[in-house]
Amino acid sequence: MRLEQLQAFLSVAETGSFQQAARKCGVTQSTISRQVQGLEAEVGLSLFHRTAHAKLTVGGERLLPHARKICQTWRNAAEELGDLLSGKQPELCVAAIHSVCGAYLPPVLQKFCRDYPNVQLRVTSLGSDRALKVLKDGLVDIAVVMNNRYFTQAPEMLVEVLYNEPIEVLMAAGHPLTKYDRVPLAELICYPQVVFKDGYGMQRMVQEQFGRIGAKLHAVLELNTLDAFRGVVRQGELIALLPHSALVEAKGDRTLAIRPIAQERSNSKVSTIAQLAADPAWTREVVLVTTHDRMQIPPIAHFWNLVRESVPPFDVIQLEKSGS
């Protein structure tokens, strides 16, 4: 049973004539007859009495309300899809990491709300791994996160790298590690650390790095806000490994200090720890992620482009040259 067969049946039922139904549908009378005959063959019943006036049979009377319901459902669906393609969606949901929410998204949000005032914009600050999970589950439309290829390598995912940034050490202004211009990893692993909660890409990254050198990460506290990190670290010897963009507010705080991780050149006599210090994995890749099908929807594509235009593309080399 095809939709056009039901539409032809309804047209004949409503006009009482194959000829008028053909005129209404903009097709030939033979086309209408063929569609109705095909439908009759499929249901196994005659649907019309072929007289001067096409009158419904018992079978036609039973089919009529169902045909109307099916065709109306299709019209509703077509209208909703048309609205979607024209940008008339009720809301757009975004998940982003804390540092991006605070540093880069505010102007994007303002521009989007001006351009699409009828779309409710919902932004949730989540850890990278959690954000990618809810994107994959269809609960949000776009994620701005630290890359996790376990999620982003799926064929339906569209990923664009926004920037790479170094991981740096946050500590109290009087911390023993402030004597270093760049903190050696051999010293770094000696101090207790504050880390992000489970579901945050930074926790996963730090754990993986320590695991690669066979060192134990002494994580004594898990947090999920940058304000909490700053408040706890300034109190004593706890340190935190955080990305460059998450330390913007800390740079102006005299009770805190920030140091890069030492980038030592490895050679045959260098220890495993020093070799890891030169590993580019001590940077994080921040990406913009959605699915290919969502980019066909104008508000989502527009938000995507606003983020691309607003987030500055910088990399580790540029940061090092600028002394960041």
Residues 52-88 as b or e (16 or more Cβ within 10 Å = b):
eebebeeebeebbeebeebeeeeeeeeeeeeeeeebe
Between β-strands 91-96 and 120-125, what pairing exists: parallel, antiparallel or unpaired?
parallel
Chain-centroid distance, C-alpha 122: 12
Give Dmax (Cα) for the chain: 102
**What was the pLDDT predicted at 99?**
84
- Residue 223 burial (10 A CB sphere; 0-12, 13-18, 19+): middle
- Rounded CA Rg of the chain: 31
The CATH architecture of the domain made up of 90-324 is 3-Layer(aba) Sandwich (3.40)
Helix, strand, coil percentages (3-state) for the chain, rounded to 5, are 50, 20, 30
Same CATH fold assignment for domains 3-85 and 90-324? no
Q: Which residues pair with 140 in a beta bridge?
A: none
166 Rama class: left (phi>0) / alpha (psi -120 to 50) / beta: beta
**What was the pLDDT predicted at 204?**
87
What's this model's pTM, rounded to 2 decimal places? 0.71
CA distances from 288 to 141, 300, 313 (A): 11, 12, 12
Instruction: Round to whole Å and give the CA distance between 264 and 177.
Output: 17
**What was the pLDDT predicted at 202?**
87
The residue among 277, 208, 206 whose CA lies nearest residue 243 is 206
**What was the pLDDT predicted at 34?**
93
Instruction: Round to whole Å and give the CA distance between 3 and 71.
Output: 7
Give the count of alpha carbons within 13 A of 48, CB side only: 24
Instruction: Round to whole Å and give the CA distance between 197 and 232.
Output: 15
**What was the pLDDT predicted at 321?**
45
- Residue 6: CB atoms within 10 A of its CB come to 20
What sign for the dihedral angle of Cα 103, 105, 108, 110?
negative
> Is residue 284 within 8 Å of 165, Cβ to Cβ?
yes
Q: List the chain domain ranges.
A: 3-85, 90-324
In order along its 324 residues, the chain shows pLDDT tens digits of 889 999 999 999 999 999 999 999 899 999 999 999 999 999 999 999 988 788 999 999 999 999 999 999 998 888 888 877 776 778 999 999 988 887 789 999 999 999 999 999 999 998 898 999 999 999 999 999 999 888 888 899 999 999 988 899 999 999 999 999 999 888 888 999 999 988 788 888 888 888 877 888 889 999 988 899 999 999 889 999 999 888 988 988 999 999 998 865 544 333 444 343 345 558 888 999 999 999 999 999 999 999 999 887 654 434 444 444
**Crossing angle for the helix pair 128-136 and 201-212, to the nearest 10 degrees:** 120
The CATH architecture of the domain made up of 3-85 is Orthogonal Bundle (1.10)
Name residue 220's amino acid.
Answer: V
- Residue 158 burial (10 A CB sphere; 0-12, 13-18, 19+): middle
**What was the pLDDT predicted at 33?**
92
> Is residue 15 within 8 Å of 24, Cβ to Cβ?
yes
**What was the pLDDT predicted at 313?**
62
- Residue 177: CB atoms within 10 A of its CB come to 18
